Structure 1
């Protein structure tokens, strides 16, 4: 079995070609195990944490934080047989046995595979670590175990196990310089500025534990530092030289993908945008009533929720608007579900996660989904799966004080609704001019799929629901 394995940059989205390494969670010498997150990367769609699909000790990080790496390129090498010494003679037990007909080898442990990550093992070689201080093989094995670099079980690598029972862990060998501690404990001690040689070990066999490190910190009356949260959504700061007339910012990640998608959409789908201004006073009253409703307690209730519900009702009344254009097969694909996208502005750029099967959700369920979507986007935890498969989108430009706009379609979708600012304006109501809450809606649609009549019906239905929310019941 190959001792060193490479973990390659997987395709964590749909056909992505590259990703930027935002943060490493491990360093050379750290122990890793199957499913452990080793780094965070930013793709063209989202920030994603990458779990490694095998066990071992980190041998080498191939790229620094901030590097952009092509999918399929090895980013980390792992020693899967740490503490095994210089490489790989055959097991001595085999020499004692007489030659026999070839038998089927024991099956190798099946490793999980990430999307876009092959099962073929890497061929990277490195000189194996030697036992410190010329220690005996037994002592070296103990040290490897204590430092978290012990080789995996013999059965897992297809070698016949040796029979003797495991002895109790011996006490540390006198004269050895390096205290016994696993890599995570060593890293903790380093972060806290603690010299492991000064720590009183309480673990079995003289191992320094995390509790021992914290006790050492408390003993010197230094407060333990608070771990700062990782600013997943925050972009890297741009250095601006004093007096500079220009600043150049690399286009990558979400911003690069958004730019490419918008150019492709604008010059592929023939856009048409229609506008309507509507009195939403009754909708605003309903929002206040829903906030006081015990069935909506703890949920995110705002005008966007009712705009989303109005759009879903309009799609139910005009199902042909919920479609996509298949250029290759020259077909219109009607969707019998609505994955409702909500455009969200984040420090990393514009993203459009969507609520799957939004049309099948009740109002409380829709409110819960909207709240979760917004919270996830703000925290930078939106995944590529959250942003794939959308059918129609809402962009709430009103939160910026903007009345309306001419939004560009999200690629592959048939329509996008811009929801403008709600303003108190003079409005003719029941024959008299009164102050009313008014907003402007703009619906852009793909004119290959949606003609003017259908687009106008959809927009008029949305406006009718917002003007008279009783239609949420009669039409819903």
Structure 2
């Protein structure tokens, strides 16, 4: 018997950290079996279809099992970690039975306690342990040992986890290579990509299938990763998931649902660039990031105020045009996890310094990969700055649920007719795509000309 009883062990389930998300991938565990955790402590980082999010645990105790390894995609509502809230010896595999008098009483959850993350709350009673569904990947050694104890079998000693960086672990998973079978060649015993490729070659002819043992008769057989049927030295295949998968689905849905129209205008922005330099010296903008995008964003907000019908969406179910009396300004941002579009809430009511501050925070948060799902919901119109890549302009695809998106091209010094003479001027091209179901050519042209 162990101290893992139904009354002392709490199963923390994968929460819905957004709105309507169904799954998330475990990127990194910050705790291991045997570690003590406290209420609010971050135990892991997960990636959803919207962003990477850190998950805090909602109670105190000792970690008894991690149900899934890093890199596993888990459905929302599935238990991912077991915590013994009654305490006990901090042993990762087995806890010795404690005398009834020595076992600390479990304190009831205080009423009115607030949840620490969107998508789950704090229960007021102990959670009963339910049989866990067998995951599609191998269960970590500590969890196997605990399960064996529950089934009346002696635990197996935990094997040290092989050292490898996350990209190498992902490569091994994709190629169906067991890291435990690899002899590391890197410094300090770290497994390298070359080690994984070398181990994958002889295994292509003999794929290994894991058969469930008699110790766990209800466990689902572990499905081996598919053997690579292509030349891994000449090709790399990356599974589509997380942010990139959600972006792809959204763009396909938008492109084939809303009839897109794109219009272009080339603008002399020499005076705009002079204004940027003047604002950088203004005391009101000290410590703020001032750039052409800031002024273009403000120009778009002014154009929307003058032409409010552009700030709307199409409700297909009710056959209605929904006009928005607020502007949540989306800014497309390229991140290592893919393209995301966080938005500045109520941008229409912000002064230029406030808009600069909000824009700076939005960009910094996106680069750090800390953008919250809430920051990417509820956008009404979007700006995408392709000019930072040296591109003249593009034909942007609408963000789902929006009626317009403005693409900003590169600002270049070009010959331009100014006051009847050809002079070198700083010029850029703006492109406005809009939903032709609710925005006609006249309205779209007015908005684009107004921004210019």
TM-score (norm 2): 0.72
Match of residue 405 from structure 1: 394
- CA shift, 1:46, in A, is 0.6
- Rounded Cα–Cα distance in structure 2 between residues aligned with 1:313 and 1:269: 25
- Rounded Cα–Cα distance in structure 2 between residues aligned with 1:88 and 1:296: 66
- Rounded Cα–Cα distance in structure 2 between residues aligned with 1:377 and 1:362: 22
Residues 377-416 of structure 1: per-residue CA shift (max 9 Å, x gap): 1111111011111110000000000001000011111110
Match of residue 190 from structure 2: none
- Rounded Cα–Cα distance in structure 1 between residues aligned with 2:359 and 2:410: 19
Match of residue 303 from structure 1: 292
- Rounded Cα–Cα distance in structure 1 between residues aligned with 2:49 and 2:99: 42
| 1:158-177 equivalence runs, <5 A | none
1:441 to 420, 426, 430: 430
Does the 8 A contact of 1:34 with 1:52 survive in 2? yes
- CA shift, 1:2, in A, is 1.9
| 1:15-26 equivalence runs, <5 A | 15-26=20-31
Match of residue 116 from structure 1: 119
Match of residue 318 from structure 1: 307
Structure 1 spans left out of the alignment, 5+ residues: 93-105, 126-229, 464-476
2:242 to 242, 253, 271: 253
- Rounded Cα–Cα distance in structure 1 between residues aligned with 2:99 and 2:412: 75
1:236–1:384 distance in 2 versus 1, CA, 3 Å: farther
- CA shift, 1:231, in A, is 10
Match of residue 14 from structure 2: 9
Match of residue 45 from structure 1: 50
- Rounded Cα–Cα distance in structure 1 between residues aligned with 2:99 and 2:329: 56
1:450–1:231 distance in 2 versus 1, CA, 3 Å: farther
| 1:75-154 equivalence runs, <5 A | 75-83=80-88, 86=97, 109-110=110-111, 112-113=114-115, 114-117=117-120, 119=123, 121-123=127-129
Structure 2 spans left out of the alignment, 5+ residues: 1-5, 90-95, 132-164, 175-192, 198-230
Bigger mean CA deviation after superposition, 79-88 or 345-354: 79-88
Does the 8 A contact of 1:4 with 1:124 survive in 2? no
- CA shift, 1:56, in A, is 1.1
- Rounded Cα–Cα distance in structure 2 between residues aligned with 1:316 and 1:67: 47
Does the 8 A contact of 1:72 with 1:117 survive in 2? no
- Rounded Cα–Cα distance in structure 2 between residues aligned with 1:316 and 1:379: 33
Q: C-alpha root-mean-square deviation of aligned residues, in Å?
A: 2.9
Match of residue 293 from structure 1: 282
Which secondary structure does the structure 2 equivalent of 1:77 belong to? strand
- CA shift, 1:246, in A, is 2.1
Does the 8 A contact of 2:62 with 2:88 survive in 1? no
- CA shift, 1:122, in A, is 3.5
Match of residue 385 from structure 2: 396
TM-score (norm 1): 0.68
Does the 8 A contact of 1:341 with 1:391 survive in 2? yes
- CA shift, 1:245, in A, is 3.0
- Rounded Cα–Cα distance in structure 2 between residues aligned with 1:116 and 1:385: 12
Which secondary structure does the structure 1 equivalent of 2:327 belong to? coil
Which secondary structure does the structure 2 equivalent of 1:434 belong to? strand
Match of residue 277 from structure 1: 266
- Rounded Cα–Cα distance in structure 1 between residues aligned with 2:428 and 2:127: 60
Match of residue 350 from structure 1: 339
Which secondary structure does the structure 1 equivalent of 2:293 belong to? helix
Residues 49-102 of structure 1: per-residue CA shift (max 9 Å, x gap): 11111111111011111111111111001101123974897999xxxxxxxxxx
- CA shift, 1:337, in A, is 0.8
Match of residue 416 from structure 1: 405
Residues 89-125 of structure 1: per-residue CA shift (max 9 Å, x gap): 7999xxxxxxxxxxxxx97544654433364714159
Does the 8 A contact of 2:18 with 2:119 survive in 1? no
- CA shift, 1:448, in A, is 1.4
